[in-house]
Homo-oligomer: A and B are copies of this chain.
Amino acid sequence: MSKIVPVVLCGGSGTRLWPRSRKHKPKPFLPLIGERTMFEATLGRCGAPEQFAPPVIVTGTAHLEHVEDQARDFPGATVIVEPEAKNTAAAIALAAERLPRDAVMLVCPSDHHIADERAFRAAAAAAAKLAAEDWLVSFGITPTAPETGYGYIKQGEPLPGGCRVERFVEKPDMTNAQRFLADGGYSWNGGIFAYRAGFFLDELARHRPALAEAVRHAVEQGREDGKRFHPDAAAFAQIVPESVDYAVMEETDRAAMVPASMGWSDIGSWAALRDATDRDHDGNSVRGRAELVGCSGVFVDTDGPRVSVIGLSDVAIVVDGDEVLVTTMEGAQKVGKLAGAARQ
């Protein structure tokens, strides 16, 4: 079997990780866990040359500089520069149009954390096999908590290395999330997909013909510029933005999933980041200069000033330049709505 082509989608904003994540340097380009940025870690885990071809990165002009700077260690990497953001269906279609029809692509968001890279690579191998047989394959993340912030996948009939998708389930309420967790027949939809490029385009053309046609024109009339490819802006402008979940995955009758238990997190909030980091025996997690007294479950991330904390539990404190954020873990969901995050 030929090598998997990583397709890394790099369009995020991530206001929920404000003030560290800012418009000019959003979440994928920050070293939130460990020394590497989220984007570098994404490239790294798709970097094993025996399994993966060089990556195709899809991004916009706004972050092109960060992308090219941080992809420097991956000399085969190429970049598709979207003239404007049109959501994931179009972004993935651009990459698919640029690949041989029989290439198997692995679509990866650039701002997720995966603790267990071995498990990731095993799931990628299983997904690629199914994709080569014209399944549209989701990674089905094994739930570890009754999360209400993720979409779920109801598992269907078994397939080699995975199963059919019985249906996709929108973000549930807490009662349903608890039921899904207890049931065991549900997985989180992690937004990681394996497709055979040609089959993906066929299915897109069947369910969203206008979108598929616009992407085809944008690529036909696009231009190469070294390692960059610029789709035609006028053709791309015609596209009605839609997620690949709605445009393809929920429409097709060839949806499959592979189970993945790999320490995954979308790091969707400071609470999620705390949970994904190494913590001391009191559950505290510190990056930068800090002193904690009588604290538990406290997360501190400071870019310079010392942070001294007394007597708090389950609070995140982030210092970034001229902004200081202090929030409960529950309140962390609301960070994106702060005046600072909105006007960043």
Q: Are A305 and B324 in contact (CB under 8 A)?
A: yes
Number of residues in A with C-beta < 8 Å to the partner? 34
A339 at the interface (CB under 8 A from B): yes
Residues of B within 8 A of A330 (CB): 311
Bound form: Cα–Cα A335–B291 in Å? 11
Bound form: Cα–Cα A310–B318 in Å? 12
Bound form: Cα–Cα A179–B337 in Å? 48
With CB as the reference atom, state the residue of chain B lying closest to A332.
B310
Cβ of A10 to closest chain B Cβ, rounded Å: 27
Q: Are B338 and A311 in contact (CB under 8 A)?
A: no
Residues of B within 8 A of A323 (CB): 305-306, 308
Bound form: Cα–Cα A237–B19 in Å? 54
Interface 0/1 of A308-329, CB less than 8 Å to B: 1111100101010111111110
Bound form: Cα–Cα A25–B253 in Å? 72
Q: Which of A255-310 contact B (CB under 8 A)?
A: 291, 293-294, 302, 304-310
Q: Are A339 and B307 in contact (CB under 8 A)?
A: no
Q: Are B304 and A340 in contact (CB under 8 A)?
A: no
Q: Are B310 and A335 in contact (CB under 8 A)?
A: yes
Q: Are B324 and A319 in contact (CB under 8 A)?
A: yes
Interface 0/1 of A107-131, CB less than 8 Å to B: 0000000000000000000000000
Cβ of A220 to closest chain B Cβ, rounded Å: 47
A101 at the interface (CB under 8 A from B): no
Residues of B within 8 A of A307 (CB): 324-326
- Identify A310's interface contact among B302, B310, B328, CB under 8 A: B328
Residues of B within 8 A of A36 (CB): none
A161 at the interface (CB under 8 A from B): no
Residues of B within 8 A of A327 (CB): 308-312
Count of chain copies: 2
Residues of B within 8 A of A339 (CB): 291, 308
Bound form: Cα–Cα A288–B245 in Å? 45
- Identify A325's interface contact among B302, B308, B337, CB under 8 A: B308
Q: Are B340 and A326 in contact (CB under 8 A)?
A: no
Q: Are A306 and B331 in contact (CB under 8 A)?
A: no
A334 at the interface (CB under 8 A from B): yes
Cβ of A18 to closest chain B Cβ, rounded Å: 8
Residues of B within 8 A of A328 (CB): 310-312
- Identify A312's interface contact among B302, B315, B340, CB under 8 A: B315
Q: Are B324 and A306 in contact (CB under 8 A)?
A: yes
With CB as the reference atom, state the residue of chain B lying closest to A304.
B322
Q: Are B338 and A322 in contact (CB under 8 A)?
A: no
**8 extra interface residue pairs, beta carbon distance < 8 Å, beyond A305-B324, A306-B340:** A291-B340, A293-B331, A305-B322, A306-B323, A307-B325, A310-B326, A312-B328, A324-B324
What are 7 of the A-B contact pairs (CB < 8 Å)?
Answer: A291-B338, A293-B338, A305-B321, A308-B338, A309-B325, A310-B338, A326-B326
Enumerate the 6 nearest inter-chain pairs by beta-carbon distance, A residue then B residue, closest first.
A311-B331, A310-B331, A311-B328, A310-B327, A307-B324, A305-B322
